[in-house]
Structure formats: C-alpha cells, structure tokens
Amino acid sequence: MTEPECPQKSPYVIEEQPRKVAWCQCGLSANQPYCDGAHKATDIRPIIVELTEAKRVAWCGCKQSGNKPFCDGTHKNL
C-alpha cells in the first residue's frame, strides 16, 4: 500500500488539549483521525504532532492534504 485510504471527504474538527498525538496517515485506523496501529501492514507511518496549547484542530480526513496532518481544503477537489 503506497496510497492512503480516504476515510472521509471532510476534516475532523476537534477541540484538542496539549499533548502528543499520532495522526493516522494511512486512513485505515478505526480511531480516526488518530493512529491505532492499523498501518503496520503498510509502508505508511503516522505523523507525530506535539500540541503545545489547547485549540481547535482541523485534522485532514481525506489524507491528501498538502499540509499534513492538517486540512488544507484538498478534499473539495476529490
């Protein structure tokens, strides 16, 4: 697998607290937008993000963003 799956064609908008998270880049996680280890059967790895403050985050849901792991609107063209 070299291309990620597209779990949804919109962002996951979540109120986040400061913490380190692993964003699912393969699209196979059952815990979107976070990694649950489903990528282990692929060559795609999660992106680790350290959130330093509480804020609303728009995580990419289509896995095609040019600004991974954040939504940049690419889903509108899919």
Query: Does residue 3 fall inside a structural domain?
Result: no
Q: How far is CA 50 from CA 10, 16, 31, in A?
A: 22, 11, 18
Q: What is the pTM of this model?
A: 0.93
Q: 24: domain range?
A: 12-77
- Count how many domains the chain has: 1
Token digits for 24?
Answer: 């699912």
Query: Does residue 2 fall inside a structural domain?
Result: no
Token digits for 20?
Answer: 């380190």
Contact 42, 8 (CB under 8 A): no
Taking residues 25-42, report their average pLDDT: 96
Token digits for 63?
Answer: 């896995």
Taking residues 40-67, report their average pLDDT: 97
- In the prediction, which pLDDT does 33 show? 98
Q: Which residue has the tokens 């919109």?
A: 10
Query: Does residue 73 fall inside a structural domain?
Result: yes
How many Å apart are CA 76 and CA 78, to the nearest integer?
6
Mean pLDDT of the chain: 96
Taking residues 25-45, report their average pLDDT: 96
- In the prediction, which pLDDT does 1 show? 62
Q: Decide if pLDDT at 54 tops 70.
A: yes
Query: Does residue 4 fall inside a structural domain?
Result: no
